Structure 1
Protein backbone atom coordinates (compact mmCIF):
# COMPACT_ATOMS: atom_id res chain seq x y z
CA UNK A 1 0.00 0.00 0.00
CA UNK A 2 1.29 3.44 -0.92
CA UNK A 3 0.54 5.79 1.96
CA UNK A 4 1.11 9.14 0.23
CA UNK A 5 -0.37 10.39 -3.02
CA UNK A 6 2.26 10.28 -5.72
CA UNK A 7 4.39 7.85 -3.74
CA UNK A 8 6.23 5.02 -5.44
CA UNK A 9 4.41 1.71 -5.66
CA UNK A 10 6.09 -1.20 -3.84
CA UNK A 11 5.53 -3.26 -7.00
CA UNK A 12 5.91 -0.93 -10.01
CA UNK A 13 5.16 -2.15 -13.51
CA UNK A 14 8.06 -4.00 -15.10
CA UNK A 15 9.22 -3.40 -18.66
CA UNK A 16 8.72 -6.26 -21.11
CA UNK A 17 11.28 -4.90 -23.57
CA UNK A 18 14.02 -7.25 -24.74
CA UNK A 19 17.46 -6.30 -23.40
CA UNK A 20 20.75 -7.33 -24.99
CA UNK A 21 23.20 -9.26 -22.90
CA UNK A 22 26.41 -7.36 -22.17
CA UNK A 23 29.72 -8.80 -23.19
CA UNK A 24 32.30 -9.65 -20.56
CA UNK A 25 34.48 -6.76 -21.75
CA UNK A 26 31.65 -4.22 -21.37
CA UNK A 27 30.81 -5.55 -17.93
CA UNK A 28 34.45 -5.31 -16.87
CA UNK A 29 34.71 -1.71 -18.03
CA UNK A 30 31.53 -0.75 -16.16
CA UNK A 31 32.68 -2.50 -13.03
CA UNK A 32 36.04 -0.77 -13.13
CA UNK A 33 34.55 2.70 -13.51
CA UNK A 34 31.84 2.28 -10.93
CA UNK A 35 34.27 0.56 -8.60
CA UNK A 36 36.47 3.66 -8.36
CA UNK A 37 33.44 5.88 -7.86
CA UNK A 38 32.07 3.56 -5.24
CA UNK A 39 35.42 3.52 -3.48
CA UNK A 40 35.55 7.31 -3.33
CA UNK A 41 31.88 7.48 -2.29
CA UNK A 42 32.40 4.86 0.40
CA UNK A 43 35.32 6.79 1.82
CA UNK A 44 33.24 9.94 2.08
CA UNK A 45 30.35 8.00 3.62
CA UNK A 46 32.59 6.44 6.25
CA UNK A 47 34.04 9.82 7.18
CA UNK A 48 30.57 11.34 7.38
CA UNK A 49 29.32 8.46 9.51
CA UNK A 50 32.23 8.90 11.90
CA UNK A 51 31.53 12.61 12.26
CA UNK A 52 27.86 11.99 12.94
CA UNK A 53 28.37 9.08 15.35
CA UNK A 54 28.29 11.34 18.39
CA UNK A 55 25.19 13.23 17.31
CA UNK A 56 22.71 10.34 17.16
CA UNK A 57 20.43 12.11 19.61
CA UNK A 58 20.11 15.04 17.20
CA UNK A 59 18.82 12.86 14.36
CA UNK A 60 15.55 13.98 12.86
CA UNK A 61 12.47 12.03 13.82
CA UNK A 62 10.96 9.98 11.02
CA UNK A 63 7.53 11.31 10.10
CA UNK A 64 5.05 9.07 8.29
CA UNK A 65 2.39 10.91 6.31
CA UNK A 66 -0.81 9.13 5.30
CA UNK A 67 -3.14 10.56 2.65
CA UNK A 68 -6.44 8.90 3.50
CA UNK A 69 -8.16 10.34 0.45
CA UNK A 70 -8.01 7.57 -2.18
CA UNK A 71 -6.03 5.25 0.09
CA UNK A 72 -8.03 2.20 -1.02
CA UNK A 73 -7.07 2.89 -4.64
CA UNK A 74 -3.37 2.65 -3.77
CA UNK A 75 -3.52 -0.93 -2.53
CA UNK A 76 -1.16 -3.20 -4.47
CA UNK A 77 -1.81 -6.92 -4.84
CA UNK A 78 1.18 -9.16 -4.13
CA UNK A 79 1.62 -11.51 -7.12
CA UNK A 80 1.05 -14.82 -5.34
CA UNK A 81 -1.76 -17.34 -5.57
CA UNK A 82 -4.90 -16.82 -3.52
CA UNK A 83 -4.89 -19.11 -0.49
CA UNK A 84 -5.24 -19.20 3.31
CA UNK A 85 -2.41 -16.98 4.61
CA UNK A 86 -1.73 -16.26 8.28
CA UNK A 87 0.93 -14.57 10.41
CA UNK A 88 1.95 -11.89 7.90
CA UNK A 89 5.09 -9.97 8.92
CA UNK A 90 6.69 -7.15 6.94
CA UNK A 91 10.49 -7.31 6.82
CA UNK A 92 13.05 -5.21 4.96
CA UNK A 93 12.07 -5.72 1.33
CA UNK A 94 10.36 -9.00 2.12
CA UNK A 95 7.11 -10.48 3.41
CA UNK A 96 7.10 -13.45 5.77
CA UNK A 97 3.89 -15.43 6.10
CA UNK A 98 2.45 -18.91 6.38
CA UNK A 99 0.21 -20.81 4.00
CA UNK A 100 -2.31 -22.67 6.14
CA UNK A 101 -4.73 -25.48 5.50
CA UNK A 102 -8.47 -24.97 5.78
CA UNK A 103 -9.84 -24.37 9.28
CA UNK A 104 -12.19 -26.95 10.76
CA UNK A 105 -14.24 -26.78 13.92
CA UNK A 106 -13.68 -29.71 16.26
CA UNK A 107 -10.53 -31.12 14.68
CA UNK A 108 -7.09 -30.19 13.46
CA UNK A 109 -6.21 -29.33 9.88
CA UNK A 110 -4.93 -32.10 7.64
CA UNK A 111 -1.52 -30.45 7.16
CA UNK A 112 0.65 -28.04 9.11
CA UNK A 113 1.28 -24.47 7.91
CA UNK A 114 4.04 -23.83 5.36
CA UNK A 115 6.42 -20.92 6.06
CA UNK A 116 7.05 -18.78 2.98
CA UNK A 117 8.99 -15.66 2.04
CA UNK A 118 8.21 -13.15 -0.72
CA UNK A 119 10.94 -10.84 -2.03
CA UNK A 120 10.06 -7.46 -3.54
CA UNK A 121 13.36 -7.37 -5.45
CA UNK A 122 12.88 -10.40 -7.69
CA UNK A 123 9.17 -10.92 -6.87
CA UNK A 124 9.79 -14.56 -6.10
CA UNK A 125 8.15 -16.70 -3.42
CA UNK A 126 10.35 -19.12 -1.49
CA UNK A 127 9.30 -21.96 0.80
CA UNK A 128 11.39 -21.91 3.99
CA UNK A 129 9.80 -24.62 6.14
CA UNK A 130 7.37 -27.23 4.87
CA UNK A 131 5.52 -27.72 8.16
CA UNK A 132 5.92 -25.88 11.47
CA UNK A 133 4.06 -25.36 14.73
CA UNK A 134 5.22 -21.95 15.98
CA UNK A 135 7.53 -19.08 15.04
CA UNK A 136 9.18 -16.09 16.72
CA UNK A 137 11.00 -13.50 14.57
CA UNK A 138 13.86 -11.36 15.91
CA UNK A 139 13.33 -7.61 16.20
CA UNK A 140 15.54 -6.83 13.19
CA UNK A 141 13.78 -9.47 11.09
CA UNK A 142 16.95 -11.38 10.26
CA UNK A 143 16.42 -14.56 12.28
CA UNK A 144 13.47 -16.73 13.23
CA UNK A 145 13.07 -19.42 15.86
CA UNK A 146 10.79 -22.01 14.31
CA UNK A 147 9.07 -24.72 16.30
CA UNK A 148 8.80 -27.95 14.33
CA UNK A 149 7.73 -31.44 15.28
CA UNK A 150 10.24 -32.71 17.81
CA UNK A 151 12.10 -29.47 18.54
CA UNK A 152 13.16 -26.02 17.37
CA UNK A 153 15.21 -24.65 14.48
CA UNK A 154 17.11 -21.38 14.06
CA UNK A 155 16.50 -19.91 10.62
CA UNK A 156 18.49 -17.13 8.94
CA UNK A 157 15.70 -15.52 6.93
CA UNK A 158 17.86 -13.63 4.42
CA UNK A 159 19.72 -16.77 3.30
CA UNK A 160 17.16 -19.38 4.27
CA UNK A 161 16.78 -20.60 0.69
CA UNK A 162 20.43 -21.70 0.55
CA UNK A 163 21.38 -22.14 4.21
CA UNK A 164 19.71 -25.00 6.11
CA UNK A 165 18.12 -24.24 9.46
CA UNK A 166 20.18 -25.03 12.55
CA UNK A 167 18.58 -27.30 15.15
CA UNK A 168 18.36 -25.81 18.64
CA UNK A 169 19.17 -28.14 21.51
CA UNK A 170 16.75 -28.05 24.44
CA UNK A 171 18.39 -30.88 26.39
CA UNK A 172 19.55 -28.52 29.14
CA UNK A 173 16.24 -26.71 29.60
CA UNK A 174 14.10 -27.40 32.63
CA UNK A 175 10.62 -26.11 33.38
CA UNK A 176 9.45 -25.95 36.96
CA UNK A 177 5.69 -25.72 36.58
CA UNK A 178 2.84 -26.24 38.99
CA UNK A 179 -0.38 -26.65 36.96
CA UNK A 180 -2.59 -25.55 39.86
CA UNK A 181 -0.75 -22.22 40.05
CA UNK A 182 -1.02 -21.77 36.29
CA UNK A 183 -4.76 -22.42 36.41
CA UNK A 184 -5.21 -19.81 39.14
CA UNK A 185 -3.31 -17.24 37.09
CA UNK A 186 -5.35 -18.04 33.97
CA UNK A 187 -8.58 -17.66 35.94
CA UNK A 188 -7.52 -14.27 37.34
CA UNK A 189 -6.36 -12.99 33.95
CA UNK A 190 -9.64 -13.96 32.30
CA UNK A 191 -11.59 -12.25 35.07
CA UNK A 192 -9.50 -9.07 34.70
CA UNK A 193 -9.88 -9.08 30.92
CA UNK A 194 -13.66 -9.06 31.24
CA UNK A 195 -13.48 -6.40 33.95
CA UNK A 196 -11.37 -4.08 31.78
CA UNK A 197 -12.73 -4.75 28.29
CA UNK A 198 -16.38 -5.74 28.62
CA UNK A 199 -18.43 -3.61 26.23
CA UNK A 200 -20.46 -1.96 29.04
CA UNK A 201 -19.02 -0.80 32.33
CA UNK A 202 -21.96 -1.99 34.45
CA UNK A 203 -21.29 -5.67 33.51
CA UNK A 204 -24.97 -6.12 32.65
CA UNK A 205 -25.87 -5.10 36.19
CA UNK A 206 -23.96 -7.94 37.89
CA UNK A 207 -21.37 -7.60 40.65
CA UNK A 208 -18.30 -8.90 38.79
CA UNK A 209 -16.12 -8.77 41.91
CA UNK A 210 -18.63 -10.88 43.84
CA UNK A 211 -18.80 -13.42 41.01
CA UNK A 212 -15.03 -13.81 41.18
CA UNK A 213 -15.19 -14.53 44.89
CA UNK A 214 -18.00 -16.99 44.27
CA UNK A 215 -16.25 -19.08 41.62
CA UNK A 216 -12.57 -18.80 42.57
CA UNK A 217 -12.80 -21.31 45.48
CA UNK A 218 -13.72 -23.97 42.91
CA UNK A 219 -10.12 -23.86 41.64
CA UNK A 220 -9.18 -26.09 44.57
CA UNK A 221 -11.16 -28.86 42.90
CA UNK A 222 -9.78 -28.37 39.37
CA UNK A 223 -7.73 -31.37 38.25
CA UNK A 224 -7.55 -30.82 34.48
CA UNK A 225 -7.61 -27.96 32.00
CA UNK A 226 -11.12 -28.96 30.92
CA UNK A 227 -12.22 -28.46 34.55
CA UNK A 228 -10.74 -24.96 34.51
CA UNK A 229 -12.52 -24.12 31.26
CA UNK A 230 -15.80 -25.30 32.80
CA UNK A 231 -15.38 -23.09 35.87
CA UNK A 232 -14.52 -20.04 33.76
CA UNK A 233 -17.41 -20.64 31.36
CA UNK A 234 -19.85 -20.88 34.28
CA UNK A 235 -18.57 -17.58 35.69
CA UNK A 236 -18.77 -15.84 32.31
CA UNK A 237 -22.25 -17.26 31.72
CA UNK A 238 -23.48 -15.23 34.69
CA UNK A 239 -23.20 -12.12 32.50
CA UNK A 240 -25.86 -13.41 30.09
CA UNK A 241 -23.99 -12.25 27.00
CA UNK A 242 -23.60 -14.02 23.68
CA UNK A 243 -20.35 -14.79 21.85
CA UNK A 244 -18.32 -15.21 25.04
CA UNK A 245 -16.71 -18.60 24.64
CA UNK A 246 -14.06 -20.57 26.52
CA UNK A 247 -12.09 -23.16 24.59
CA UNK A 248 -8.62 -24.54 24.00
CA UNK A 249 -5.69 -24.80 26.35
CA UNK A 250 -3.04 -27.36 27.22
CA UNK A 251 -5.10 -30.54 27.39
CA UNK A 252 -2.08 -32.90 27.20
CA UNK A 253 -4.08 -35.54 25.36
CA UNK A 254 -2.41 -38.40 23.47
CA UNK A 255 -2.17 -38.43 19.70
CA UNK A 256 -5.20 -40.04 18.15
CA UNK A 257 -5.37 -41.61 14.68
CA UNK A 258 -7.18 -39.64 12.04
CA UNK A 259 -8.91 -40.81 8.89
CA UNK A 260 -6.68 -40.07 5.91
CA UNK A 261 -9.23 -40.81 3.22
CA UNK A 262 -12.46 -38.94 2.53
CA UNK A 263 -13.87 -41.67 0.29
CA UNK A 264 -17.54 -42.52 0.70
CA UNK A 265 -18.17 -45.33 3.18
CA UNK A 266 -20.35 -48.08 1.75
CA UNK A 267 -22.15 -48.90 5.00
CA UNK A 268 -24.72 -46.59 6.56
CA UNK A 269 -23.00 -46.49 9.96
CA UNK A 270 -19.39 -46.12 11.05
CA UNK A 271 -18.19 -48.40 13.88
CA UNK A 272 -17.04 -46.75 17.09
CA UNK A 273 -13.36 -47.09 17.98
CA UNK A 274 -12.25 -47.76 14.41
CA UNK A 275 -9.95 -46.16 11.86
CA UNK A 276 -10.16 -46.21 8.09
CA UNK A 277 -7.71 -47.08 5.33
CA UNK A 278 -8.10 -46.99 1.54
CA UNK A 279 -8.71 -50.20 -0.40
CA UNK A 280 -8.08 -51.27 -3.97
CA UNK A 281 -11.77 -50.79 -4.75
CA UNK A 282 -12.56 -47.23 -5.89
CA UNK A 283 -14.77 -45.29 -3.48
CA UNK A 284 -14.45 -47.80 -0.63
CA UNK A 285 -12.53 -47.87 2.63
CA UNK A 286 -11.76 -50.59 5.13
CA UNK A 287 -12.37 -50.15 8.85
CA UNK A 288 -10.07 -51.65 11.45
CA UNK A 289 -10.43 -51.56 15.25
CA UNK A 290 -8.13 -49.19 17.11
CA UNK A 291 -8.07 -51.18 20.35
CA UNK A 292 -7.36 -54.86 20.72
CA UNK A 293 -10.34 -57.07 21.35
Structure 2
Protein backbone atom coordinates (compact mmCIF):
# COMPACT_ATOMS: atom_id res chain seq x y z
CA UNK A 1 0.00 0.00 0.00
CA UNK A 2 2.73 2.44 0.92
CA UNK A 3 4.37 2.22 -2.51
CA UNK A 4 1.21 1.70 -4.55
CA UNK A 5 0.90 5.30 -5.79
CA UNK A 6 2.21 8.87 -5.46
CA UNK A 7 5.79 7.69 -5.67
CA UNK A 8 8.70 8.40 -7.98
CA UNK A 9 10.02 5.52 -10.04
CA UNK A 10 13.52 5.34 -8.46
CA UNK A 11 12.01 5.26 -4.95
CA UNK A 12 9.48 2.66 -6.02
CA UNK A 13 12.18 0.45 -7.52
CA UNK A 14 14.31 0.74 -4.39
CA UNK A 15 11.50 -0.08 -1.95
CA UNK A 16 10.10 -2.82 -4.19
CA UNK A 17 13.46 -4.57 -3.95
CA UNK A 18 12.97 -4.82 -0.16
CA UNK A 19 9.50 -6.35 -0.32
CA UNK A 20 10.68 -9.90 0.42
CA UNK A 21 13.11 -8.91 3.24
CA UNK A 22 10.29 -6.93 4.89
CA UNK A 23 7.89 -9.87 4.67
CA UNK A 24 10.51 -12.23 6.08
CA UNK A 25 11.34 -9.77 8.85
CA UNK A 26 7.66 -9.46 9.75
CA UNK A 27 7.40 -13.23 10.11
CA UNK A 28 10.51 -13.45 12.30
CA UNK A 29 9.25 -10.58 14.42
CA UNK A 30 5.87 -12.24 15.01
CA UNK A 31 7.51 -15.55 15.94
CA UNK A 32 9.77 -13.72 18.40
CA UNK A 33 6.79 -11.93 19.92
CA UNK A 34 5.00 -15.23 20.48
CA UNK A 35 8.09 -16.96 21.91
CA UNK A 36 9.24 -13.96 24.01
CA UNK A 37 12.58 -13.84 22.22
CA UNK A 38 12.59 -10.29 20.82
CA UNK A 39 15.84 -9.68 22.68
CA UNK A 40 17.49 -12.38 20.55
CA UNK A 41 16.73 -10.70 17.22
CA UNK A 42 19.80 -9.36 15.46
CA UNK A 43 19.13 -5.73 14.39
CA UNK A 44 21.56 -6.18 11.48
CA UNK A 45 19.11 -8.64 9.90
CA UNK A 46 16.33 -6.04 10.03
CA UNK A 47 18.19 -3.28 8.23
CA UNK A 48 19.98 -2.74 4.89
CA UNK A 49 23.74 -3.08 4.95
CA UNK A 50 25.76 -0.08 6.04
CA UNK A 51 27.10 0.28 2.51
CA UNK A 52 23.64 0.93 1.08
CA UNK A 53 23.41 4.63 1.77
CA UNK A 54 19.94 6.08 1.95
CA UNK A 55 18.14 2.73 1.88
CA UNK A 56 17.44 2.75 5.61
CA UNK A 57 16.01 6.28 5.43
CA UNK A 58 13.78 5.25 2.50
CA UNK A 59 12.37 2.33 4.49
CA UNK A 60 11.71 4.50 7.53
CA UNK A 61 10.05 7.08 5.30
CA UNK A 62 7.41 4.48 4.40
CA UNK A 63 6.04 5.23 7.88
CA UNK A 64 7.13 8.86 8.38
CA UNK A 65 5.93 10.09 5.00
CA UNK A 66 3.84 7.49 3.20
CA UNK A 67 1.46 6.97 6.14
CA UNK A 68 0.69 10.66 6.48
CA UNK A 69 -2.84 11.93 5.92
CA UNK A 70 -3.75 11.60 2.25
CA UNK A 71 -0.94 9.19 1.44
CA UNK A 72 -1.52 5.59 0.29
CA UNK A 73 -0.38 3.91 3.53
CA UNK A 74 -2.66 6.01 5.74
CA UNK A 75 -5.35 3.28 6.16
CA UNK A 76 -2.77 1.05 7.88
CA UNK A 77 -1.92 3.86 10.30
CA UNK A 78 -5.58 4.60 10.99
CA UNK A 79 -6.36 0.92 11.61
CA UNK A 80 -3.53 0.68 14.13
CA UNK A 81 -4.51 3.90 15.91
CA UNK A 82 -8.19 2.96 16.11
CA UNK A 83 -7.70 -0.50 17.60
CA UNK A 84 -8.19 0.92 21.10
CA UNK A 85 -9.90 3.94 22.58
CA UNK A 86 -7.78 4.01 25.72
CA UNK A 87 -4.05 3.49 25.64
CA UNK A 88 -3.37 -0.27 26.02
CA UNK A 89 -0.12 0.49 27.83
CA UNK A 90 -1.38 2.63 30.72
CA UNK A 91 -5.19 2.37 30.45
CA UNK A 92 -5.32 6.07 31.36
CA UNK A 93 -4.70 8.29 28.33
CA UNK A 94 -6.69 8.42 25.14
CA UNK A 95 -5.04 6.95 22.06
CA UNK A 96 -3.79 9.79 19.92
CA UNK A 97 -0.75 8.31 18.20
CA UNK A 98 0.88 5.18 16.85
CA UNK A 99 4.18 3.85 18.18
CA UNK A 100 6.61 1.14 17.06
CA UNK A 101 7.01 -1.71 19.52
CA UNK A 102 10.51 -2.30 18.14
CA UNK A 103 11.94 1.07 17.06
CA UNK A 104 12.05 1.78 13.34
CA UNK A 105 15.43 3.47 13.75
CA UNK A 106 16.93 0.12 14.80
CA UNK A 107 14.65 -2.23 12.82
CA UNK A 108 13.78 -0.32 9.60
CA UNK A 109 12.37 -3.45 7.92
CA UNK A 110 9.59 -3.25 10.56
CA UNK A 111 8.86 0.45 10.02
CA UNK A 112 5.54 -0.21 8.23
CA UNK A 113 4.72 -3.71 9.53
CA UNK A 114 1.20 -3.49 11.03
CA UNK A 115 1.78 -5.75 14.07
CA UNK A 116 4.73 -3.55 15.05
CA UNK A 117 2.43 -0.50 15.15
CA UNK A 118 0.71 0.06 18.50
CA UNK A 119 -2.05 2.51 19.49
CA UNK A 120 -0.67 4.68 22.28
CA UNK A 121 -1.22 7.88 24.25
CA UNK A 122 1.19 10.80 24.11
CA UNK A 123 2.57 10.26 27.62
CA UNK A 124 3.51 6.61 27.04
CA UNK A 125 4.97 7.44 23.64
CA UNK A 126 7.25 10.06 25.19
CA UNK A 127 8.50 7.70 27.89
CA UNK A 128 9.44 4.86 25.54
CA UNK A 129 12.87 5.29 23.99
CA UNK A 130 14.18 3.99 20.65
CA UNK A 131 16.10 1.22 22.35
CA UNK A 132 16.41 -2.42 21.34
CA UNK A 133 15.86 -4.99 24.11
CA UNK A 134 19.14 -6.68 25.03
CA UNK A 135 17.81 -9.20 27.56
CA UNK A 136 14.58 -10.96 28.48
CA UNK A 137 13.58 -8.36 31.08
CA UNK A 138 13.88 -5.47 28.62
CA UNK A 139 11.15 -6.84 26.34
CA UNK A 140 8.26 -4.45 26.86
CA UNK A 141 4.83 -6.07 27.06
CA UNK A 142 3.12 -6.28 23.69
CA UNK A 143 -0.64 -5.53 23.69
CA UNK A 144 -1.26 -8.01 20.85
CA UNK A 145 0.74 -10.95 22.19
CA UNK A 146 1.08 -10.66 25.98
CA UNK A 147 -1.90 -11.60 28.15
CA UNK A 148 -1.30 -9.80 31.42
CA UNK A 149 -4.90 -9.87 32.64
CA UNK A 150 -5.07 -13.53 33.64
CA UNK A 151 -3.24 -12.82 36.92
CA UNK A 152 -3.47 -10.01 39.42
CA UNK A 153 -0.07 -8.30 39.63
CA UNK A 154 -0.62 -4.58 40.33
CA UNK A 155 -0.87 -3.35 43.94
CA UNK A 156 -0.77 0.00 45.70
CA UNK A 157 -0.07 1.23 49.21
CA UNK A 158 -0.98 4.38 51.12
CA UNK A 159 2.08 5.51 53.09
CA UNK A 160 1.87 8.10 55.86
CA UNK A 161 4.87 10.30 56.70
CA UNK A 162 5.88 11.68 60.11
CA UNK A 163 7.50 15.01 60.98
CA UNK A 164 10.96 13.55 60.37
CA UNK A 165 9.97 12.73 56.81
CA UNK A 166 9.92 8.99 57.45
CA UNK A 167 7.16 6.48 56.65
CA UNK A 168 5.39 5.18 59.74
CA UNK A 169 2.25 3.32 60.77
CA UNK A 170 -0.14 6.02 61.84
CA UNK A 171 -2.91 5.53 64.39
CA UNK A 172 -6.49 6.46 63.46
CA UNK A 173 -6.51 9.39 65.89
CA UNK A 174 -3.24 10.95 64.68
CA UNK A 175 -2.55 13.61 62.06
CA UNK A 176 -0.11 12.70 59.32
CA UNK A 177 2.59 15.17 58.38
CA UNK A 178 2.38 13.98 54.78
CA UNK A 179 1.32 10.99 52.71
CA UNK A 180 1.91 9.32 49.37
CA UNK A 181 0.63 6.47 47.24
CA UNK A 182 3.08 3.93 45.85
CA UNK A 183 2.27 1.44 43.08
CA UNK A 184 4.26 -1.74 42.62
CA UNK A 185 4.37 -5.01 40.73
CA UNK A 186 3.35 -7.76 43.14
CA UNK A 187 2.82 -10.95 41.09
CA UNK A 188 1.42 -14.30 42.24
CA UNK A 189 3.78 -17.04 43.36
CA UNK A 190 3.13 -18.94 40.11
CA UNK A 191 5.27 -16.42 38.17
CA UNK A 192 8.91 -17.20 37.61
CA UNK A 193 11.66 -14.67 38.32
CA UNK A 194 12.14 -13.74 34.66
CA UNK A 195 8.48 -12.92 34.14
CA UNK A 196 8.43 -10.79 37.26
CA UNK A 197 11.54 -8.87 36.23
CA UNK A 198 10.12 -8.27 32.76
CA UNK A 199 6.87 -6.80 34.07
CA UNK A 200 8.75 -4.67 36.61
CA UNK A 201 11.01 -3.29 33.87
CA UNK A 202 8.01 -2.53 31.65
CA UNK A 203 6.16 -0.90 34.55
CA UNK A 204 8.85 1.19 36.23
CA UNK A 205 11.54 1.77 33.60
CA UNK A 206 10.22 1.55 30.04
CA UNK A 207 6.97 3.45 30.60
CA UNK A 208 7.30 4.69 34.22
CA UNK A 209 3.71 3.72 34.92
CA UNK A 210 4.35 3.84 38.66
CA UNK A 211 4.92 7.59 38.42
CA UNK A 212 1.89 8.11 36.16
CA UNK A 213 -0.39 6.16 38.50
CA UNK A 214 0.88 7.99 41.56
CA UNK A 215 0.00 11.30 39.90
CA UNK A 216 -3.44 9.95 38.99
CA UNK A 217 -4.03 8.81 42.56
CA UNK A 218 -2.95 12.14 44.06
CA UNK A 219 -5.52 13.88 41.85
CA UNK A 220 -8.27 11.33 42.50
CA UNK A 221 -8.21 10.88 46.29
CA UNK A 222 -9.16 14.45 47.36
CA UNK A 223 -12.30 14.22 45.25
CA UNK A 224 -13.58 11.31 47.34
CA UNK A 225 -14.15 13.38 50.49
CA UNK A 226 -17.82 14.26 50.06
CA UNK A 227 -18.93 10.73 49.17
CA UNK A 228 -16.82 9.20 51.94
CA UNK A 229 -18.10 11.72 54.50
CA UNK A 230 -21.67 10.70 53.74
CA UNK A 231 -20.79 7.02 54.03
CA UNK A 232 -18.84 7.63 57.26
CA UNK A 233 -21.80 9.39 58.92
CA UNK A 234 -23.91 6.28 58.38
CA UNK A 235 -21.49 3.38 58.72
CA UNK A 236 -18.28 4.75 60.22
CA UNK A 237 -14.88 3.39 59.21
CA UNK A 238 -16.33 0.00 58.31
CA UNK A 239 -18.83 1.65 55.99
CA UNK A 240 -16.05 3.59 54.25
CA UNK A 241 -14.04 0.39 53.87
CA UNK A 242 -16.98 -1.48 52.35
CA UNK A 243 -17.68 1.44 49.99
CA UNK A 244 -14.10 1.50 48.71
CA UNK A 245 -14.00 -2.28 48.32
CA UNK A 246 -17.20 -2.08 46.28
CA UNK A 247 -15.67 0.47 43.90
CA UNK A 248 -12.59 -1.74 43.49
CA UNK A 249 -14.70 -4.80 42.67
CA UNK A 250 -16.68 -2.85 40.09
CA UNK A 251 -13.55 -1.55 38.39
CA UNK A 252 -11.98 -5.02 38.41
CA UNK A 253 -14.69 -6.38 36.11
CA UNK A 254 -13.12 -4.49 33.23
CA UNK A 255 -9.46 -4.60 34.22
CA UNK A 256 -8.25 -6.30 37.38
CA UNK A 257 -4.87 -4.56 37.07
CA UNK A 258 -6.31 -1.07 36.73
CA UNK A 259 -4.58 1.58 38.81
CA UNK A 260 -7.99 2.41 40.30
CA UNK A 261 -8.54 -1.16 41.51
CA UNK A 262 -5.14 -1.13 43.21
CA UNK A 263 -5.76 2.34 44.67
CA UNK A 264 -9.21 1.69 46.16
CA UNK A 265 -8.11 -1.62 47.62
CA UNK A 266 -5.13 0.11 49.25
CA UNK A 267 -7.35 2.82 50.71
CA UNK A 268 -9.84 0.24 51.99
CA UNK A 269 -7.03 -1.61 53.78
CA UNK A 270 -5.79 1.54 55.55
CA UNK A 271 -7.45 2.01 58.96
CA UNK A 272 -6.36 5.64 59.34
CA UNK A 273 -7.79 6.64 55.97
CA UNK A 274 -11.12 4.88 56.60
CA UNK A 275 -11.37 6.33 60.12
CA UNK A 276 -11.32 9.92 58.88
CA UNK A 277 -7.88 10.35 57.36
CA UNK A 278 -9.61 11.00 54.05
CA UNK A 279 -10.59 14.42 55.45
CA UNK A 280 -6.97 15.39 56.06
CA UNK A 281 -5.93 14.29 52.58
CA UNK A 282 -8.77 16.26 51.01
CA UNK A 283 -7.77 19.34 52.99
CA UNK A 284 -4.25 19.11 51.59
Q: TM-score range by the shorter chain?
A: under 0.3
TM-score by length of structure 2 reads 0.23
Decide which structure has the larger Cα Rg and report it: 1
More helix as a share of residues: 2
Work out which structure has the larger RCO, using CA pairs closer than 8 Å and 6 or more positions apart in sequence.
Answer: 2
